[in-house]
Structure 1
């Protein structure tokens, strides 16, 4: 998947799961400050993202994630790692 494909999938998940307006879910949107996602919401999000990578998601990969774009980049990197293994 491309960065854009991953972003659109994450955007759809955030809109559908957390009832967020689509226009609020941008790559620059801060998960906590702009989208009001807490740590429990983040766990729910990670569970839903697991099928995108096809592997177990390690929490360490998301420790520095602050924005939607950070999530996209982390998933893209994990996807690339899993395809080379």
Structure 2
């Protein structure tokens, strides 16, 4: 899967799942603030990632994720890792 395709797919499910305007999802924006995430929303986010990309997410994976770019980098790395298996 190409990087741009991963980013487009990610933005689409984030905008739909968390009911935010797609234009508010930018690489430098704060993920938690933009999506107004609370602890239960992180569970929804994990479920959305797993169902859209087919890999398991560990809670500790989110420790370094602050911006959407951090999130994209994480998803891209995990998708590429999955493709190698």
* Runs (5+) with no aligned partner, structure 2: none
- How has the CA–CA distance of structure 1 residues 5 and 33 changed in structure 2, closer, same or farther, with 3 Å as cutoff? same
CA–CA separation in structure 2 for the residues paired with 1:34 and 1:19? 10
RMSD: 1.7
Corresponding residue number in structure 1 for 2:33: 33
**Larger helix share, 1 or 2:** 2
Which structure 1 residue ranges, 4+ long, deviate > 4 Å from structure 2?
none
Instruction: List per-residue Cα deviations over 1:23-71 (Å, max 9, x = no partner).
Output: 1011111112233222221221121111343222222222211111111
Equivalent residue number for residue 84 of structure 2: 84
Q: How many residues align?
A: 85
Corresponding residue of 2:75: 75
Partner secondary structure for residue 32 of structure 1? helix
Structure 1: which 5+ runs fail to align? none
**Structure 1's 16 and 53: CA in aligned 2 closer, same or farther, altered over 3 A?**
closer
| C-alpha contact 2:18 2:35 (8 A) present in aligned 1 | no
